[in-house]
Structure 1
Amino acid sequence: MEWGFLAAGLFVGIMVGMTGVGGGSLMTPILIFGFGIQPVIAVGTDLLFAAITKAGGIWAYWRHSVVVWPVVVKLAAGSIPATLLTLWYLSQAGIEDGSHNELITNALGVALILTSSALLLKNWLGGILQARAGHPIVNALYKLREDEQHKTLATIITGAVIGVMVTLSSVGAGALGAVALLFLYPRMKGVEIVATDIAHAVPLTAVAGLGHSAVGTVNWELLGWLLMGSLPGIYIGSHLGVRIPDKLMRTVLAIILIAVGVKCLL
């Protein structure tokens, strides 16, 4: 079984290295459906797995000064309190005994479908907004991001929604955060979007993962095997990614996530 966990970590690491997304989206379903791990244990372990594997990204982006820290703070102002409240609810509900596996699985299904939709529809939605410029609803959306107070509030609310989703399912900090930032902060460069999203995802998943650990829903031995596979996998994937079209990989990944998300909800 340990070699299976090592292989799973290697596979997910390669996918993350190739596409930049897919860590929580792939790892949690693999643990639940592939290895029969209790859903809440899979989520708790995967949260710390995500925090550790992405931590190196913060350092690299910080050195290049492409992290927009004020936006990270605004997202965290919503996500961290929401995460702590969700963790409190889970501990009060006795989540560690497995009695709420259905809640976790359903949350995972919804998060996977939303994440895959964000991957598939990101460019299409942007085109729709540009084509419908002048429509009252589109004008209201554009006005939202032009007003600093409204944009700040929207960013905090976005962080709160992501915080709840990530704590329940370990999914959502990557693709959903990036899509929200693309809309709210259109003047940010692509690399700034990625860097800021990762800079927010690491502390969020770390807090959520440590909270899961406090209620006994992290398998530390499992985490070790996954990391031993994922760290070299990310290195391999980053080299393979330059040879495979990014659009193709993201489309394949999105289709897989939709299928798994539907399975979680059935």
Structure 2
Amino acid sequence: MAWLAAGDGYEVALIEGRVAARATSGRAAGRRLKSLPKALREHPEVDRLRRLAQWLDRHADACVAQVDAWMVSSLPVPTGLLARVWPDEAWQAALRDMAVVGDDPDEVGFLRDATGSGELRVVNLDGETVRLAPRTVTLPHPVLLPDLDDLREFAAELGVTQRVEQIHRATWVKPAGLAEKARAVTEFSGGRYDSRFHLAARATALGYRVSGGYATCRVRDGARTVEAAVWIGEPYWEDSVETGDLIWHDRDGRSLPLREVGPVAWSEGMRMAAALYAGRKVEEGGKA
């Protein structure tokens, strides 16, 4: 970003998300200062840059959240849309190295570039950079990707780093042979917290919604939307509390048999329940 005049003898700029200053006269002219001089801390230009930095941070977070939503839902995304947003650094950071699938569901590649003409450049599993121009692409949830372990190994060889957790996202595969009437998973029940407030705070910090006595995670799984829910105790309950069962229900609130839960909803529900259970209070010593 260009340097802007601010007061007598100084210029300011936004560098790596922080307001930086440099002198324009004297022995230090042109040299970036280690900290903002006191005379600049309340300057209008500095305040404007700080507000711009805050907006850029919110924009970057919004881009990551949108790409995460596309990935979790595995919805088709217009290739032209990716091409239009790619020049934006925040969008590019969120999208770069995401595993994408075009017209051939068996052809997976890591996104490296998108041109203005709507063409994508991806690195395929042979290590070659190829061009794709499908009408839409998907950013698949990892539980839907074939040979995920091989894909993770290849990503490590390429040095792939994803802003949106996809390839290395924790996944759970629904077991076969579930009882016909089973409607709850108890694997992560019984995680004790000192208070309901602490459990709800952890759920919120992890990005989950807290509604009534539940932490919830809404997922579009195939053609329908499903919500996973873990019991965390009644609101304003001040005593210690334990994580409850994990259940799923549809948009009408109907409790779903486990056999009806799709692969993405199952994986994301288990991921939420495991994350809440992991924050439990662990007894030490003889009572552990």
Confirm or deny a common fold (TM above 0.5).
no
Larger helix percent:
1
Larger strand percent:
2
Interval containing the TM-score (normalised by the shorter chain): under 0.3
Q: TM-score, normalised by structure 1?
A: 0.25
Q: TM-score, normalised by structure 2?
A: 0.23
Q: Which has the higher contact order (CA 8 A, sep 6+)?
A: 1
Decide which structure has the larger Cα Rg and report it.
Answer: 2
